[in-house]
């Protein structure tokens, strides 16, 4: 019996569904300022820059060859489809006028969760990656559409999100399949919830900053 499939994951993260967060709702309806998007991009970049190393570390620490294969395919996409995703992200960041600030507390906690778990608790890190991947395609599609509709961002600025709106559908399947191969124990869903909560707290911080601006 599969206990860690997409349905179980979605039930686990129900309180932390990112498109329900006020910050993303404001992004979707165009009520954020461009400066809010710039601040978001400056912080999100820390995660995007760390992601290839996280994927590589988890792949290197899990013994199942099929699981490693899923992670390595994800890593290849991250680094080269259609080009390095950090390069694509930087075009988005430039389009909204982002700088490259130091990580804020919530950003640091988010990145550290993934980086530390990748080394010391790779199964939990895989679970936290699943919390990200199961939502990523829908979130990316919504962001891209709003950037075009409300903020006048062109193809170069939306490409990062449009690429993820497509490939993250496959990544969701790869990563949930990988999680099922390493553990059918429902306790692994605690890692899913921890990852989802870290992302929610990241957005809480961005929402607070936007409200104060």
DSSP 8-state symbol, 81: S
Average pLDDT over residues 102-108: 98
pTM of whole model > 0.75? yes
Distant-in-sequence, close-in-space partners of 3: CB < 8 Å, separation ≥ 6? 184, 185, 186, 189
- Alpha-carbon span 34 to 196, nearest angstrom: 26
Residue 1 predicted with pLDDT over 70: no
Q: Would you list the domain boundaries of the chain?
A: 6-212
Question: What percentage of residues in the chain have a pLDDT greater than 90?
Answer: 87
Q: Name the 3-class secondary structure at 119.
A: helix
Residue 183 predicted with pLDDT over 80: no
What's the CATH number of domain 6-212, 3.40.50.720, 3.80.10.10, 1.20.910.10, 3.90.105.20?
A: 1.20.910.10
Torsion sign across C-alpha atoms 145, 30, 102, 92: positive
pLDDT at residue 142 in the model = 98
CA atoms within 13 A on the CB side of 147: 24
Helices (H) then strands (E): counts for the chain: 9, 0
| DSSP strands (E only) in the chain | none
């Amino acid at each position: 019996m599969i206990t860690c499939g997409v349905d179980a994951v979605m039930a686990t993260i129900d309180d932390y569904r990112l498109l329900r967060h006020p910050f993303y709702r404001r992004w979707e309806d165009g009520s954020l300022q461009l400066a809010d998007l710039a601040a978001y991009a400056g912080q999100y970049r820390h995660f995007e820059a760390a992601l290839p190393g996280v994927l590589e570390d988890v792949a290197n620490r899990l013994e199942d060859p099929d699981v490693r294969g899923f992670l390595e395919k994800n890593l290849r996409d991250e680094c080269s489809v259609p080009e390095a995703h950090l390069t694509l992200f930087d075009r988005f960041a430039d389009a909204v006028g982002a700088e490259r600030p130091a990580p804020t507390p919530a950003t640091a906690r988010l990145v550290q969760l993934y980086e530390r778990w990748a080394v010391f608790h790779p199964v939990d890190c895989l679970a936290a990656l699943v919390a990200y991947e199961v939502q990523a395609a829908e979130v990316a599609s919504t962001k891209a559409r709003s950037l075009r509709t409300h903020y006048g961002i062109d193809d170069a600025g939306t490409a990062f999100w449009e690429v993820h709106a497509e490939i993250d559908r496959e990544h969701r399947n790869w990563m949930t399949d990988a999680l099922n191969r390493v553990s059918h124990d429902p306790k692994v869903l605690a890692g899913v919830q921890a990852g989802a909560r870290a992302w929610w707290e990241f957005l809480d911080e961005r929402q607070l900053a936007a409200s104060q601006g």
